[in-house]
Structure 1
């Protein structure tokens, strides 16, 4: 199974418009994990948008360092969620060319990191919605009571 996905600049533009709040200026999307986490090149290194946590971090000084880490089992598990991806493939759930794995109940809203919570969704739509969700969640005051209803 291929654990990374390649998309066009237009697809990334559509997908990342709702993530502007996180600070994407000066960063060029390179590829995604099969779960939609985005890897960016920038003048100061390589950045990782963790769409589960809603965090953007500078992880590597160079593309060579990124490649070396993604060629390790630990790197594949941390950044590509390899074990779950392989389990999904074995279950018969495989994303199409423009799709990624998506959590039906987003983890930031209490969903679980498990096969039963995963579906395939068009990448641009999935990332756009996740960006909106994370933007709203980050604005919730600490200690606020939130009732979440998922159908």
Structure 2
């Protein structure tokens, strides 16, 4: 089971362009989880773009810290969703070379973090769409009912309330 994936600089740039509302300046993508969460290196440490929560945090100041976390079962489950990835693989889901696992209904809109809600998607498309969703959701008052989500042919996401 492949818990991390790497992509080209162009793929990372296109995937993360919709996350511009977070401060990605000075951060260089180094790899992703099988679910498309992006790990970055920067002068001040190592950052994690959590696509489920829509957050960017700096959990590690050093490469050794990052390595120690991701070499532990607890760290693999927390940051790489290793248990869920193993369930998806057992269910016959295997991302192709340019793909990652994705939630059919994003947890940010009430989708379950469960193997029955997992599919595979192109890395660039999946991470970009998720960034657009989080950008639009973050400005909504708590409890706002989402009436629908549409994705245009050019990949633009529109949430209707």
User: Into which bin does the TM-score normalised by the smaller protein fall?
Assistant: over 0.9
Mind listing any 5+ residue stretches in structure 2 that lack a counterpart? 151-161
For residues 58 and 146 of structure 2, what CA distance do their matches in structure 1 show?
33
Q: CA RMSD in A?
A: 1.3
Higher RCO, 1 or 2 (CA under 8 Å, sep at least 6)? Answer: 1
Residue 119 (structure 1) aligns with: 119
- In terms of fraction of residues, the more helix-rich structure is 1
Residues 105 and 150, structure 1, Cα contact 8 Å, conserved in 2: no
Residue 49 (structure 2) aligns with: 49
Residue 131 (structure 1) aligns with: 131
Mind listing any 5+ residue stretches in structure 1 that lack a counterpart? none
TM-score using structure 1 length: 0.96
1:124-144 per-residue CA deviation (whole Å, 9 max, x = no partner) reads 00000000000000010235x
Residue 15 (structure 2) aligns with: 15
Residue 159 (structure 2) aligns with: none
For residues 61 and 149 of structure 2, what CA distance do their matches in structure 1 show?
40
Residue 109 (structure 1) aligns with: 109
TM-score using structure 2 length: 0.90
Residues 109 and 148, structure 1, Cα contact 8 Å, conserved in 2: no
Residue 147 (structure 1) aligns with: 146
Residues 1:150 and 1:26: Cα distance change in structure 2 (over 3 Å): closer
